Amino acid sequence: MTKLLLSIIASLSIYSKTVAQVIVNYNQKNPYEFKLNTVSEFNLINAGSNMKVNVKVELLQGQKQIYSCNYLNLTCNNGNNSYPLIQPSNEVKNNSIPGLATNGFLPSGQYELCFTVTDETKQEEFAQNCFDISIKSLSPPFLIYPNDVSTINNLTPTLIWSPPLGSNINERYKYDLKLVKIQNNQQPIDAINQNYATLKLQDLNSTQLLYPFNAAKLVNGKNYSWQVIAKNDNGYKAETEVWTFSVKLDSLSEEKVVFFEGFVLAKKTPVEGVINLKEELKLYFNESFQLKNLDFQLLSDNQTLISKLEPNSIKELGSNKFNIKFEYIPQLIHKKVYFLNIVNQNNSDTYQIKFKCFKH
């Protein structure tokens, strides 16, 4: 009897040494996002002998299976094992989940990720570990400067905002920015949705924008509203609140300047002298012309071509008179000298005006 008991104990002892002792370890890296290809970032900690294993992965939300796959013929040596380059087989996705079918990202919510480990040789299941996956919702970005309902003393301010709160520092976002002038008695949100944009940029990579040198400057004494939209390749898109600010220059910020108020005669080149013009250029010819036959060219003070003016920036007033508003010419820089060449396309005659631009 004693020999029989010893024999049974010895057999149990031998069996306990051969059974694998494997634990699955998994850590969710980012609480604000989860992509399916990260399920392979598990570790198998083997306290027993070396072996080959299969791992089945299941992702659940409540009782509903969201995703499953298998990793086959994995080497599981004694100690800690990781598998950074493995590819899954037998993938099954629940394509009714938003974003899962298109880019592999899960929407925010509570999930359970389970790993089942099977001895490949014996086809025996000997380990199962489950982990809670919690995906938080990213908050929208928020504006920083100019402050809401503030007054600035700058026609070309730097615009600053934050990335979405809780986002990974390495996550790449792009930003769309829109800034508009508020009309009298208009609500800021209505201005953003309805008005022509003073500044509209897309796919910005930074959360800070130095006011573009070639954009129309802000106007002294006017009110503006602005908004930023953050987006990424994972389907995330969120917008900031709409903020407002006013522009008011100090009284000493402009020196005393005598402006030419009437219509400027366009003369055949070359011209002498420079005239100071504020906000617009009103010109006339001693000859009869139609706008469609004229080519308007903006040149720098050294007569290098900057751009040709778009027809919608020029208004024909009749009686050989034309009006050009500076706000429609974003290339103009405050207090810089320019030439405006007007070329008659019928005979190539060129008329010219030299002026110093003042715009707010």
CATH classification (class only), 264-358: mainly beta
Strands 89-93 and 237-239: unpaired
CATH number of 143-247: 2.60.40.10
Single out the residue of 329, 284, 337, 274 nearest to residue 307, CA to CA: 329
Superfamily classification of domain 19-135: Immunoglobulins (2.60.40.10)
Which residues of the chain are in CATH 2.60.40.1220 domains? Answer: 264-358
DSSP run (H or E) holding 14? helix 2-18
Q: Which of left, alpha, beta for 235 (phi over 0: left; psi -120 to 50: alpha)?
A: left
Q: What are the tokens at 133?
A: 């996956």
Where exactly does CATH 2.60.40.10 map onto the chain? 19-135, 143-247
Q: What is the pLDDT along the chain (360 residues), one digit of tens a residue?
A: 444 443 433 333 333 333 458 999 999 988 877 888 899 999 999 998 999 999 999 999 988 999 999 999 999 999 999 998 789 988 898 877 766 656 677 877 899 999 999 998 888 888 899 999 988 777 788 999 999 999 998 888 999 998 887 655 446 789 999 999 999 889 999 999 999 999 999 999 888 998 988 888 899 999 999 999 998 766 678 899 999 999 998 653 444 567 777 788 888 866 677 888 888 888 888 788 888 888 999 999 888 999 998 888 888 887 788 899 888 888 888 888 999 999 988 888 888 889 888 876
Residue (of 133, 143, 154, 164) closest to 61 by Cα position:
133
**Cα gap 46→24, rounded to integer Å:** 9
Give the pair of three-digit tokens for residue 12. 């149990």
